[in-house]
Structures are given as structure tokens and as C-alpha cells.
Homo-oligomer: A and B are copies of this chain.
Amino acid sequence: MAFLAHLESVVTQVEGSVACSVMGFDGIAVETFQAPQQADYASQVELSSAWVEYGNTLSQLKTGAELLKAGAVSEVSVNTEKLITLMRMVTPEYFVVLALRPEGNYGKGRYVLRVTAPKLKAELQ
């Protein structure tokens, strides 16, 4: 399971990336790649706390969506003053999350997660 190479590729491709992780819906990260030069920033914004909170949100949305006619949730983003967070479903048990600085490339982040999710899914099977 070569997750790390895929996560590093996401961080390298998307300007403003802080870190990228494959997480389970239990809130535990399977693998994380952190941009080396952004370690201080990740610590400053307490990235792991934010991810646990947002992961809970995604989990609730996933469950709630089963009752909705709008269909299954594929992608959620949560943007704050200091952090852009993009999340995309990989399997029913796992999702990929990318944190960017506020000035990061949001559109490219969405695109790169979309093309990376199937690669991560293949590794998980």
C-alpha cells in the first residue's frame, strides 16, 4: 500500500499545500504527507484537531445523505480564516483530506484530489 507517494504527489502539485492524509471515518489517519516547509504552520493551526472535527462532519454528512434524494456525498470543503480543507470520499470507510493555506490553489486542489482518489482506492483494495 504505497499511499505516501500519492499523498506527496498531491502536496507537490498543489500550491499552498500544508498536508495531505488518508483517513478512516474513525478519525485515525492511515498515512500523512506534510509539506516540510509548512510544519510550523500545521502546528500553529493545530491541523490534526481540525481534521478530527471536520472528519466527524463528513461522517455525519455521509450518514445523513443516505436519507436524502441529493445522493451520496462525494466531496466536502471547509474554509476558515487560516485554512482551506478539502475532503473527498475514497471508499465507504476512508477519505482523503488536503489542507491548504488560505492563499492556496483551491481549484487545483479539488482537481488533484479527484484524480488521486481512484489511485488511493486501488491501494486500499
| Integer count of this chain's copies in the complex | 2
Residue contact A61 to B68, C-beta cutoff 8 Å: no
A44 touches which one: B69, B72, B80 (CB < 8 A)? Answer: B69
* A13-32 CB contacts (< 8 Å) to partner B: none
B79 and A74 form a contact (CB under 8 A)? yes
Chief secondary structure at chain A's binding surface: mixed
With A57-B57, A107-B107 given, is the CB distance from A73 to B79 under 8 Å? Answer: yes
Q: Which one of A1-9, A45-53, A90-98 contacts B?
A: A45-53
Any chain B CB within 8 A of the CB of A39?
no
Q: With A and B bound together, what is the CA distance between A44 and B71 in angstroms?
A: 11
Q: Does A115 contact B (CB under 8 A)?
A: no
Question: Is the pair A57, B46 in contact by a Cβ cutoff of 8 Å?
Answer: no
- Complex CA distance for A71 and B73, rounded to whole angstroms: 25
The answer to whether B80 and A77 touch across the interface, beta carbons within 8 angstroms, is no
Q: Flag if B70 contacts A50 (CB, 8 Å).
A: yes
Please give 4 more A-B residue pairs, beta carbons under 8 A apart, in addition to A57-B64, A60-B60, A70-B80: A45-B70, A74-B81, A76-B76, A76-B79
Residues of A within 8 A of B (CB): 44-47, 49-50, 53-54, 57, 60-61, 64-65, 67-83, 85, 106-107, 110
